[in-house]
Structure 1
Amino acid sequence: MKILIAIALSLVATLAIGGSETGTVRFEHGQYASGPNSAGYTFFYLDDGTKVAPPGCATFAGGERWVINNDWPAAKIQMSVLLAAAVSGKRVTIYGSNNCSVWGDTETAANIFIVD
């Protein structure tokens, strides 16, 4: 429980400084894995939205691309939200981590919410 609280507090702290965007989900053509011991990474975009305040490191596709590390515990929830929104045509809001630690030129998604 203490770990979940620490994660939640760290994510809340990133909301004010990371990039954000609202739009419909479009997955990139594939997922990338570095080997048999990695679940890989999921890359995606939001259509009909404009990313606000991406970090300077987010240079791929004008900073519009997002990434999730599939090894992270939160990735299952993030992917579930993205897939549900993509299938139903609903829009999501993404708040970023304000860093590109997962993939050097792409901001890491921190929080994902279905908005309508």
Structure 2
Amino acid sequence: MEDLINIHVELPDGSRVTLEAPTDMGLSVMEVMKANELDVPAICGGMAICATCHVEVLESGELPEPGDDEAYMLETLPHATATSRLSCQLRVNPDLNGLVVRLMPEA
């Protein structure tokens, strides 16, 4: 049996949905959101070069620091906040259980 965690996503209308994510498949938060049919363009497919999977982290445990590519993309975004991340760069693992993110606008 696979281990599952819960990831909560705040939608543009302010409502939240809870997604179950397996920790044993190496998925990103972006992939989990797309698999649950949330409106995440993810044009580059998870390469950290388009920022169309931009989220604001509202609640989390310990997150890894953004890599250089992710940090560069975040610096270019007009709606970036101190807790912005690219969901394609957040790998699902047990430490992300209870993560709360808000989908951010593209422009």
TM-score range, shorter chain: under 0.3
Q: TM-score, normalised by structure 2?
A: 0.26
Higher helix fraction (1 or 2): 1
- Please identify which structure carries the higher strand content: 1
Give me the TM-score of the superposition, normalised by structure 1: 0.25
